[in-house]
Amino acid sequence: MAIYAFLNFSLNMAHLYQTLYLSPGTKKKDSQAFSEWLSQYELYTEVLPRRGIRVLGSERRFRILVTDLLSKCLELDSNFMPTLRRANNPLQTLLASYFLVKADSGLKRANEVIRAFIDRTKCRISYASAKFLYLYLGCAFHRMDAGFFIPSVTPLDLSIRDYALIDDNTNENAFVNYPDLKKSELPASTTTAFDVAKYTKRLTQCPQALSSG
């Protein structure tokens, strides 16, 4: 549900559960569980009359949460194009396929940005780092096109380069330059599962060559 809510202004759960051939009783239980799960990430749902619900809260955490979920369903080929993970279960395939269609414009922009970045800096980026950066940028471009931006970024006492991957937006670029921000700003489960700090360290070492491990 998080991915559907992320990709749309609102989520009509009744329609979604009818499409998936799930009962109203299941929808009611899942709605409560979904709200409780979101609260771990300082996100919450708002009811929109006759439209369904939408997820509100920290845009930063919402993007990382969805990027984390997608990273379990998608892989990248040698041209930085997304492919479905072969080991996906049917639900993962459904969600990932929907994302690839819905976020197509943002993903194409992400591909262009990463290619230009590599050509400009001559970096060698590990697979894990490239996958994170690609999926995050695809999500970011999709959300920005929908009018959702990161309102502010807490400066860190780090000496890093500004790679300006996202044009004309200081807050968005700052978050990409060191996307883990403060560890305390992210739930422990997200930070552990995604190991954002590891990817950030690799990226901020450019233009030196990065290890492929």
The 3-state secondary structure of 126-152, one letter per residue: CHHHHHHHHHHHHHHHHHHHCCCCCCC
Buried b (16+ CB within 10 A) or exposed e, 92-111: beebbeebbebbeebbebbb
Distance CA 155, CA 164 (A): 16
Are residue 53 and residue 87 in the same domain, yes or no? no
**pLDDT at res. 9:** 92
Instruction: Report DSSP state, residue 11.
Output: B
Per-residue pLDDT 10s for the chain (213 aa) are: 899 999 999 999 888 888 888 888 888 899 999 999 999 998 999 999 989 999 999 998 999 999 999 999 999 998 888 999 999 999 999 999 999 999 999 999 999 998 888 888 887 888 888 898 899 999 999 999 999 998 876 665 555 566 667 766 667 776 676 543 333 444 443 333 334 434 444 433 433 322 222
The two tokens of residue 11 are: 């989520």
**pLDDT at res. 153:** 65
Are residue 51 and residue 83 in the same domain, yes or no? no
Are 63 and 136 in contact by the 8 Å Cβ rule? The answer is yes
Are 55 and 38 in contact by the 8 Å Cβ rule? The answer is yes
Residue 138, number of CB atoms within 10 A of its CB: 27
Are 35 and 45 in contact by the 8 Å Cβ rule? The answer is yes
Are residue 65 and residue 15 in the same domain, yes or no? no
Going by C-beta distance under 8 Å and a sequence separation of 6 or more, which residues neighbour residue 50?
Answer: none
Are residue 35 and residue 82 in the same domain, yes or no? no
CA distance readout (Å), 195 to 8, 65, 118, 180, 198: 27, 12, 22, 9, 6
Are residue 123 and residue 184 in the same domain, yes or no? yes
Last residue of a domain, one of 57, 81, 103: 57
Last residue of a domain, one of 20, 42, 57: 57
How many separate domains does the chain show?
A: 2
Distance CA 79, CA 188 (A): 32
Are 178 and 158 in contact by the 8 Å Cβ rule? The answer is yes
Are residue 211 and residue 139 in the same domain, yes or no? yes
Are residue 39 and residue 136 in the same domain, yes or no? no
- Residue 1 lies in domain: 1-57
Are residue 69 and residue 87 in the same domain, yes or no? yes
Burial of 66 (0-12, 13-18, 19+ CB in 10 A): buried
Are residue 66 and residue 46 in the same domain, yes or no? no
Rounded to 10°, the helix 90-102/104-121 angle is 80
Are residue 22 and residue 70 in the same domain, yes or no? no
**pLDDT at res. 165:** 74
Are residue 37 and residue 76 in the same domain, yes or no? no
Last residue of a domain, one of 57, 75, 103: 57
Instruction: Report DSSP state, residue 80.
Output: S
Are residue 159 and residue 179 in the same domain, yes or no? yes
**pLDDT at res. 20:** 80
Hunting for tokens 């200081």 — which residue is that? 170
pTM for the predicted model, two decimal places: 0.77
